[in-house]
Amino acid sequence: MTNTGELKAFADSITAATSPFRNYLSDLHRQYLSLTDGAVADYIPELALADPSWFGIAVATVDGQVFEVGDCDQPFTIQSISKAFVYGLALEDHGRDYVNSKVGVEPTGEAFNAIVLDEATNRPYNPMVNAGAIATADLIKGKDGTERLKRLLAMFHRYTGRSHDIDVPVFLSEKATGNRNRAIAYLMLNFGMVSNRIDETLDLYFQQCSILVTARDLSLMAATLANGGVNPVTGDRALDQRYVQDVVSVMLTCGMYDSSGDWAYRVGMPAKSGVGGGITAVSPGKLGIGTFSPPLDAKGNSLRGIRVCQTLSQEFGLHPFNVAAPPRDLAAWINGSEGTDSW
């Protein structure tokens, strides 16, 4: 017997397929597909195998509608996008005060893999750079590496509504080329910022970065944060609402590597990028955006993904500090009804 949730999902899928907003995203996809600048990441050998023509845009609303165009089912490794969500799990495991004693929340102005700690506190500056992400991974509870990894995978399942696999070749490639991250970990061990289970924590960190996701997954992850920590499709809580503010605040100030300031100025949505080509962006109370396109700019952010998010923010007034009337009414475009009240 069909349940109410299945009927709603079916109705939402029909609405999404016929919505003017989907047509708008299709036009946006065609516009930026011709953008051929940037380069696929190659410092991790397996990432260099990505097809630069892959390009997907997905948007999930807080009422559970999902709009997809392009390569939204193409799997790729989540890479640094994982950092924001693992940070949320660490907050749930230990609370804000303890986590803040191990990882700060300040932007660095340094490269994401810089071997540098705060001179005053010896903490990594924030959980979005490698040092902070390794310290955050170290905080994840579990009796051993296997249990800790299972907890991470279960967390991502709550955000996306499906199970996820590890891309083993990418994991092994990251592990084989991860000496800089080992140096960072041992420096933090020296200052008491991480435990002495260095190898286990580094494996966990490399594995979390090697989780396979899609643009659709990234849109649902962002929409879950936009919806106060509750997955808008499944209704499952993925993050305690007390910590949603912490996660999205650090995403806004530190989530786009060392171009986070420019992103905050031009786009304004809390976001996190990864060198696999993904971007997840949050419009609180409204929607989540997931984009996938492997060619990156010099800072390590997806070029097409940046353009998509900039355009959506400007066209629909998604910058949180925007007070001017946007060119397009978001609710009207999604619902296909002119004059519909905006959120």
Query: Any catalytic annotation for residue 275?
Result: yes
Q: Which of 40, 59, 62, 83 is catalytic?
A: 83
CA proximity to 287, closest of 67, 72, 59: 59
Eight-state DSSP code of residue 81: G
Task: Please give the Cα distance from 206 to 170 (Å, whole number).
Answer: 9
What is the Cα–Cα distance from 76 to 338, expressed in whole angstroms?
Answer: 37
Based on the number of CB atoms within 10 Å of its own CB, is 78 exposed (0-12), middle (13-18) or buried (19 or more)?
A: buried
Please tell me the distance from the alpha carbon of residue 213 to that of residue 277, in angstroms, as a whole number: 11
Distance CA 116, CA 199 (A): 20
Distance CA 306, CA 291 (A): 9
| Catalytic hit among 24, 32, 59, 80 | 80
Longest Cα–Cα distance of the chain, Å, equals 62
Distances (CA, A) of 290 to 134, 267, 280, 337, 342: 24, 14, 5, 25, 22
The alpha carbon of residue 209 and the mean position of all alpha carbons in its chain are separated, in whole angstroms, by: 11
Q: Which of 32, 159, 243, 257 is catalytic?
A: 257
Residue 143: active-site member: no
User: Out of 24, 159, 205, 243, which one is annotated catalytic?
Assistant: 205
H or E stretch including 330? helix 330-335
Residue 124: both structure tokens together: 């990594």
From 130, 95, 126, select the one nearest 202 (Cα to Cα): 130
The yes-or-no answer on residue 98 being catalytic is no
CA dihedral over 71, 73, 76, 79, signed as positive or negative: positive
Catalytic residue among 275, 282, 286, 302: 275
Q: Is 80 a catalytic residue?
A: yes
| Contact by Cβ (8 Å): 218, 291 | yes
Active site members = 80, 83, 205, 257, 275
